[in-house]
Structure 1
């Protein structure tokens, strides 16, 4: 079926905010002499729930120093605030990943509507889109604030297709995460996987097409493949 719209994920697909998200927790874990692996973290990719990094830290510490674990429990709010501040600091210098701007410009020039479907909050996503100067390229932005369930549930993609006024099967999803790919498939959308810096380190479920990046990928190429 021809492609009549593009639906973009945000985190890890347009901007590498996934590396700061993981690194900010890894730094805190290191302060307590433990590690947070990419594979433990992978369940969070593309989702906004499913893994409690603070609780996991406590569980690891209980195995070696129960008293320290209790201190970490008591300091939860302080640790979460420190982690968020560090994540924001690491995220601030990030720019659009290769090929994103060019694909958006090509879609705009050809009148092909684009949407964002993200498990992050509206404040986070809209803030980035405005800061990067790409908000006008999107006909709609669907976030965790708009649906009952985020990825891997299909709700975000179904809502984006509904707002675009198109059948999901005609909306090509661009995703970097396991949860995002599962959500797109559950929604009935064709999906292209573009593994990110973090998601590229974990197994991804099958996609209709996998690309190393969006660099040098044109809309014409995608339309030809999915015609």
Structure 2
């Protein structure tokens, strides 16, 4: 059956925001004389638990910290790092091709709409998508709820849709919803286990969308 819908994760997939977020947290930990253990980061990447997990871990090194006081500072640091960030290489080609083929498009992200939507607009990608599903309104990954909601919004069945992800948690969510899943890891996630994915690509430029669809 022809592919009718493509559903993209946002952070790390459409744009490599995860590198900036990780750099920001590493800087915060160093301010308190500690190093952020990468295994702790990988345990929560792609879920909705990153910020609470990082503050909880930081509290072990700096008892008595006030997460609410630190939040504006960490967010401002991330936004500075993201000022010149564009979409991942090849993403726009995938989106253009999908539109030309009449394939419907959605974003399914564990992050909030307040994070995802402004970034999509800044990156000039918002007009491509027929639906944007976010973790403030749906259960976050690895729960399949975001993907099930995306399918409902697009009017597509799981066998007719492909998900694009950059983390194992995201792949788990997509597969649990019944979608074919293409993993496109970024510099932060490329060494993780993507054994659940149907296809693993080193980048969006490694295989044009037409070639992917014909396999």
TM-score over 0.5 for the alignment?
A: yes
Residue 26 of structure 1 corresponds to 26
Does the Cα contact within 8 Å between 1:10 and 1:118 map onto a contact in 2? yes
Does the Cα contact within 8 Å between 2:59 and 2:65 map onto a contact in 1? no
* 1:197 aligned residue (184, 187, 192): 187
Q: Report whether the alignment pairs 1:47 with 2:47.
A: yes
Q: Deviations for 1:13-40, whole angstroms, at most 9, x for unmatched residues?
A: 0111001111111111112221112221
Which blocks of at least 5 consecutive residues in structure 1 are unaligned? 62-68
Higher helix content, 1 or 2: 1
> What is the DSSP-based 3-state SS (H/G/I as helix, E as strand, rest coil) of the residue aligned with 1:115?
strand
> What is the DSSP-based 3-state SS (H/G/I as helix, E as strand, rest coil) of the residue aligned with 1:201?
coil
> What is the DSSP-based 3-state SS (H/G/I as helix, E as strand, rest coil) of the residue aligned with 1:24?
helix
Aligned-pair distance for 1:197? 1.6
> What is the DSSP-based 3-state SS (H/G/I as helix, E as strand, rest coil) of the residue aligned with 2:107?
strand
Aligned-pair distance for 1:205? 4.0
Paired with 2:70 and 2:159, the residues of 1 have a C-alpha distance of 43
Q: Where in structure 2 are the equivalents of 1:55-94 lying within 5 Å?
A: 55-59=56-60, 61=61, 69-70=62-63, 73-94=64-85
Q: Report whether the alignment pairs 1:119 with 2:110.
A: yes
Aligned-pair distance for 1:44? 2.4
Paired with 1:159 and 1:182, the residues of 2 have a C-alpha distance of 16
> What is the DSSP-based 3-state SS (H/G/I as helix, E as strand, rest coil) of the residue aligned with 2:190?
helix
> What is the DSSP-based 3-state SS (H/G/I as helix, E as strand, rest coil) of the residue aligned with 1:192?
strand
> What is the DSSP-based 3-state SS (H/G/I as helix, E as strand, rest coil) of the residue aligned with 1:34?
coil
> What is the DSSP-based 3-state SS (H/G/I as helix, E as strand, rest coil) of the residue aligned with 1:141?
strand
Residue 197 of structure 2 corresponds to 207
Q: How well do the aligned residues superpose, as a CA RMSD in angstroms?
A: 1.5
Q: Deviations for 1:86-114, whole angstroms, at most 9, x for unmatched residues?
A: 11111221101011000100111111111
> What is the DSSP-based 3-state SS (H/G/I as helix, E as strand, rest coil) of the residue aligned with 2:214?
helix
Change (3 A) 1:74 1:29: closer
Aligned length: 214
Residue 133 of structure 1 corresponds to 124
Does the Cα contact within 8 Å between 1:117 and 1:143 map onto a contact in 2? yes
Q: Deviations for 1:162-212, whole angstroms, at most 9, x for unmatched residues?
A: 111111121100100111000001100000001112111333342000000
Residue 100 of structure 1 corresponds to 91
Paired with 1:76 and 1:142, the residues of 2 have a C-alpha distance of 27
Larger radius of gyration: 1
Aligned-pair distance for 1:83? 1.3
